[in-house]
Structure 1
Amino acid sequence: MKEKPIVYQFFWWVCLACPIILYFLFVQVYGINIPYVDDHGLKGFIVKFYNSSSLGEKISAVFAQHNEHRIGLTRILLLIIYTLKNEIDYKWLMWLGNGFLLGILGLFVAFFKKNKISYWYLLPIPWILFTLSNQENTFWGMASVQNFGIVFLCMWAFWELENERIAWVLVLMTIAVFTSGNGFVALGIIMGILILKQNWKQVGLVLGLSVILFLAYFLSYQKPPATPTATLADWKDLIKAFMAFVGSYADVTIETEISNRVLKAIALGGLLTTIALFFITQNLPFDLASKQLKISKKWPVFLLSTLALIFLSALMVAWSRLIGYGFQTILTSRYKIYSILLSISVYAWLLSVLQPKHQNKLFLIVLPLSILTFINGFWQSISQIDYHYKNLTTNMFNWTYEDLSGRKNTPTQFNYANPATVFDKLVPTLLHSDFSNEPSIALEKAVLENGNIAIRGTGDFRFPWLDPDNGVYLLAKSDRRAYLFPLRCLKSSIKNVVIQQAIFSPIFEGQIPDFEFQAGVYHLGIIVVDNQHSRIYQTKDSIEIKANTNKKIATNW
């Protein structure tokens, strides 16, 4: 950054650091050391690794298949954490996984430096990159390492490829393949780039590595249960899904109808794809006049390869996920990182080709838009983030106390300590009291319908923000056990957020699947947590679950 008055420098540093600090503040507040979904598979890995008697068995455990991937990097990082702390800590995985976003930012800093772009124009990038729209990856240990890690490693390899450091490319691609299967896509892109550059020695090195990695990856590979995939007859929906995937950064109103969300994503996807295709055509390695291969010394390998990774990933997700899962999955926050990177890549390319006066105009448009999108990403995602945290804490209670005796279901094969939660002090009351002496609250709705327990009610409470425990929970208790489940509090108006600092209103509701319960008659109660103070309310409602309908999902981990 050129030397500017101290006020400008101060503004630059504040504007650059603000989204990063806010993002990691949320990781600290809403991240918790409780396994989520596939995280549970890491417990089995720790047991298998430490019970293995030979080095070969331990290596096999590290690189064993997990669904369709081999998540060696995730497991190695977990082993490091386990060695340092002598226990599993999923929140440390979150910190490491989210740290890859800093690496991505560093790559764009290097791009700006190499292309002599003023660092002043870097400011929109952290506002775009460190968005809470990434929520699923952000607050899920395994997913943050895998999904943020794979794009960082691939982009780093592309950067090294542009700078002709092939040794680093080979190392990074080896790690990438054993982070996510998408590493093979990046290998193919790198191979294509080297073939176009006619660097046959490096082609041979990458080809040799690819063969070794392919054999190591697929020699004992077992195809997981497949969902229906698209066919060519679905081409119209595939185009929509592709555009929605690459434009999902525009999906900032996630509580609206899916059709409206898809239209917004397609609009941004179409715009970004059009600009990206123009960039690609401007950098085709061919001289159309002489019809010969011609590559400039300044060929933008980094951005071209990044765009190829984004577009190929979009094609694969659209093909494999659309029919079985629908547009809801196409727009899921796990995949938004690709649309975010497309937005940043297009912005970076435009800065690299525009004249200074036009660079400034672009910057003055993109910076306020990126800040507004960051704020809106928080507002639209906070309900899901808050519910995710509460769902983890109540799930931990439910698997820890499997009856009313107070005996804890504590693992003995590995070290893991349940984090402290707001319910710890309530355990004796929750397990042994009938709540007949507690104040009562009337629920507007408490019925079993379509396989879900539907709950709705209104209280006289409001909750200050940035305390993830604050909220309303359902207590369901039979003569055999007690369950806790979070209820969603509807968001307050902007007026109440400003005046009362209350993001959530006193209106609460929930849909709890009946397969979460053992058979029995459950009396319902409500728990309200406000600034670490807990209140229990009895209700007149009860629900009968005739049979547990939970079906175990087959996994390879």
Structure 2
Amino acid sequence: MWQSFSIKNILIFSLILTPIVFFGYIFEKYAINIPHWDDFAVRNSLASYLNSNSPTEKIKILFAQHNEHRIFLTRLAALLIYEVKGTLNLKWLMYMGNFSLIGILVLFFKISKKYSFILLSLAPISFLIFNVGLYENTFWGMASIQNFGVIFLAFLTFYWLVFSVEKQKIKYFYFSLFSCFLGIFTSYNGIVIPIIGLFILLFQQRKQVVFIWVGSCFVFLTSYFYSFLQNPEKASKTDFSHPQLLLKGLFATIGNGIDLSFILSDKHIDLSMAIGVFLVVFIAIFTYIVIFKKYNLANKTNDLFLLACLGFLAITCVGIVLARISFGFGTLLTSKYKIYSILILSIFYFVALQSLSENRKNNFIYMSILGAIIFNIYTYIADYQNIIYLRQERITDQFKQQYSDKDFPKNGLAAKLQQPVAIFYTDIVDKILQTNDSVKTNINITENETSFRLEEKQNGKILDLTSADAGQYFILKSTEKVYLFPTQTIPINKKVYMNSSFLVENRLPLSSFVAEITKFYIQSGKYQIGKVLVENDTKTVIFTTQTIDIQTVEKEKPKQNW
């Protein structure tokens, strides 16, 4: 049972907060206010909203379609940020999206109290949810609100709806209608919320409010699909001729939370599918128990909430497979979709804990805490390079806008909404743009049909990673254009991540710097290779005697409905 405020509980709360604090530290260090892909659409829709004088047109802009989604909540958040900051700060969008994870943890906290779990039982959930393996959504303004926000709103709707069965909490029902509306207009999978909500009401035999729910959700969904356009991108069409591939994709997506690609890259898909099979079996058994077995009503109500959450997560995974498998298995296994698998694992933990006898629960909690801590540390080590690379990618995207394509907005509303971030190259840009003396280097250059691979060996050289921008960036400079590219920072081996020199001092012995340079988004020409080494407060620009000849490969731009 939950105990009074005590030293013991303070220590337990500290344990629960530890992954949140660490997650926040990594976020603060590496998050950056530079738009990425769909962030530009958010910026443009905000500009259209601010330029419009028509209230009707403003509403249309807020609810306008974005691919298969209607991202009303994201646009509303962007508008709120603009009103407060006078610009579109994408890091604030990330804050809002990541706070949804805290909201999800709070809901687990509340349901754990209803199960009469001890406070310590929440610790594994915290270590599972707040892991940096979710980096794509974590560091992407538009995606963090859409992908984290819709899950929180779905869970919140189910919580209010399930527990509004209690007479003194009937107001929860009307709260659930509001959160259902927001969930639908946050992401495409939000349209599942009304269906699961209807199942909840029918299961609880609440005929008096079913008609209110159905009527309200009918209005929500009709509004959602009014003038709805199918995704015009051909590559997104699903091929149903290989159902076994779709099934494998589903298992892999559901089991992707435990990502062992860092240590077992050749077995990653098989392991994800195996975990997915286990979790699908769990979902099926739990569904059968909740729907058909008779047991304690209070526990059944609690289980109904978890089942509704599982249903939303599982149906979303089905939708991801149908919508994205045409892009390949690699797309299904990206970090963007791991949150669904992580939450299914979290619910499995709660269900397993509830099924144990009292004398076994504590041991299970202790083992789960140990496993969750190991998992959290592992994801940090496994995805550290991905987080660094993602930040470098954003930085070089801004450089491309400013100095390669020279299309960075300089005046008007667009310039107000997207302001350049002062980063490491700001005070050395003249050195990058003007070729200085060249030095002889031995950068290994490999070419294929669509890209170049540049690799420079480091032979164990130590890199201080204290600075968020630390690492090497390759420069390509022709007579007309200059580009800056991010690199993968490759250590001498994976064991060095466990050394105190890395974990405590942020120092990493390197094998090489590697850059993949596609021929899609670069102008044809002969380019001299240069490099920028960033370490602590030192930024060194060097041009080499090596060159590459690039012939642009035309790539069809994806079709959009926004």
What corresponds to 1:129 in structure 2?
129
- Maintained 8 Å contact 2:125/2:346: yes
Equivalent residue runs for 1:331-480 within 5 Å: 331-402=333-404, 410-414=410-414, 415=416, 416-431=418-433, 433-436=434-437, 440=439, 442-459=441-458, 461-480=461-480
Asked if 1:531 corresponds to 2:536, the answer is yes
- Maintained 8 Å contact 1:520/1:544: yes
Say if 1:94 and 1:441 are closer, same or farther in 2 by CA, change over 3 A. farther
Give distance in 1, aligned partners of 2:407 and 2:82. 26
Give distance in 2, aligned partners of 1:343 and 1:547. 45
Say if 1:365 and 1:426 are closer, same or farther in 2 by CA, change over 3 A. same
Question: Which is worse superposed, 479-488 or 138-147?
Answer: 479-488
Asked if 1:327 corresponds to 2:334, the answer is no
Q: Deviations over 1:256-284 (max 9, x none)?
A: 54x51111112222222333332222211
CA RMSD between the two structures: 2.2
Superposition TM-score, scaled by structure 1 size: 0.92
Give distance in 2, aligned partners of 1:2 and 1:305. 25
SS of the counterpart of 2:230?
coil
Q: What is the CA distance between 1:3 and its match in structure 2?
A: 4.4
What corresponds to 1:260 in structure 2?
267
Asked if 1:235 corresponds to 2:234, the answer is no
Question: Which is worse superposed, 133-142 or 507-516?
Answer: 507-516
Equivalent residue runs for 1:2-17 within 5 Å: 2-3=2-3, 8-17=8-17
Give distance in 2, aligned partners of 1:5 and 1:80. 37
Give distance in 2, aligned partners of 1:183 and 1:147. 10
Which residue, 544, 549, 552 being the options, matches 2:549?
544
Which residue, 219, 227, 233 being the options, matches 1:220?
227
Q: Deviations over 1:322-350 (max 9, x none)?
A: 2x122111211111111111111111122
Amino acid at match of 1:454: R
Q: What is the CA distance between 1:544 and its match in structure 2?
A: 1.9
SS of the counterpart of 1:413?
helix
Give distance in 2, aligned partners of 1:465 and 1:17. 25
Question: Which is worse superposed, 23-32 or 212-221?
Answer: 212-221
What corresponds to 2:309 in structure 1?
306
Equivalent residue runs for 1:109-148 within 5 Å: 109-148=109-148
What corresponds to 2:151 in structure 1?
151
Q: What is the CA distance between 1:449 and its match in structure 2?
A: 2.3
- Maintained 8 Å contact 1:443/1:455: no
Q: Deviations over 1:223-279 (max 9, x none)?
A: 112423132x4232222222111111111325754x511111122222223333322
Say if 1:390 and 1:499 are closer, same or farther in 2 by CA, change over 3 A. same
Q: What is the CA distance between 1:169 and its match in structure 2?
A: 1.2
Give distance in 2, aligned partners of 1:504 and 1:167. 57
SS of the counterpart of 1:261?
helix
Which residue, 185, 191, 195 being the options, matches 2:192?
185
Asked if 1:210 corresponds to 2:217, the answer is yes
Superposition TM-score, scaled by structure 2 size: 0.92
Equivalent residue runs for 1:188-199 within 5 Å: 188-199=195-206
Say if 1:47 and 1:504 are closer, same or farther in 2 by CA, change over 3 A. farther
Q: Identify unmatched segments of 5+ residues in structure 2.
A: 165-171
Q: What is the CA distance between 1:408 and its match in structure 2?
A: 6.5
SS of the counterpart of 2:520?
helix
- Maintained 8 Å contact 1:286/1:295: no
Q: What is the CA distance between 1:542 and its match in structure 2?
A: 1.0
Give distance in 2, aligned partners of 1:184 and 1:547. 42
Give distance in 2, aligned partners of 1:444 and 1:401. 24
Give distance in 2, aligned partners of 1:513 and 1:522. 14
Give distance in 2, aligned partners of 1:270 and 1:325. 22
What corresponds to 1:92 in structure 2?
92
Amino acid at match of 1:249: G
Give distance in 2, aligned partners of 1:508 and 1:402. 22
Give distance in 1, aligned partners of 2:5 and 2:231. 59
SS of the counterpart of 2:480?
coil
- Maintained 8 Å contact 1:38/1:142: yes
Q: How many residues align?
A: 543
SS of the counterpart of 2:194?
helix
Give distance in 2, aligned partners of 1:35 and 1:187. 33
Say if 1:544 and 1:172 are closer, same or farther in 2 by CA, change over 3 A. same
Which residue, 499, 516, 526 being the options, matches 1:521?
526
Q: What is the CA distance between 1:546 and its match in structure 2?
A: 3.3
What corresponds to 2:168 in structure 1?
none
Amino acid at match of 1:374: N
SS of the counterpart of 1:542?
strand
Q: What is the CA distance between 1:427 and its match in structure 2?
A: 1.1
Amino acid at match of 2:517: I
Q: Identify unmatched segments of 5+ residues in structure 1.
A: 288-293
- Maintained 8 Å contact 2:399/2:484: yes
Amino acid at match of 2:243: W
- Maintained 8 Å contact 1:489/1:504: no
Structure 1 runs (4+) deviating above 4 angstroms are: 1-7, 406-409
- Maintained 8 Å contact 2:501/2:508: no
Give distance in 1, aligned partners of 2:408 and 2:440. 30
What corresponds to 2:169 in structure 1?
none
Give distance in 2, aligned partners of 1:234 and 1:393. 41
- Maintained 8 Å contact 1:159/1:301: no
Give distance in 1, aligned partners of 2:311 and 2:2. 33
- Maintained 8 Å contact 1:158/1:169: yes
Question: Which is worse superposed, 448-457 or 542-551?
Answer: 542-551
SS of the counterpart of 1:554?
coil
- Maintained 8 Å contact 2:520/2:553: yes
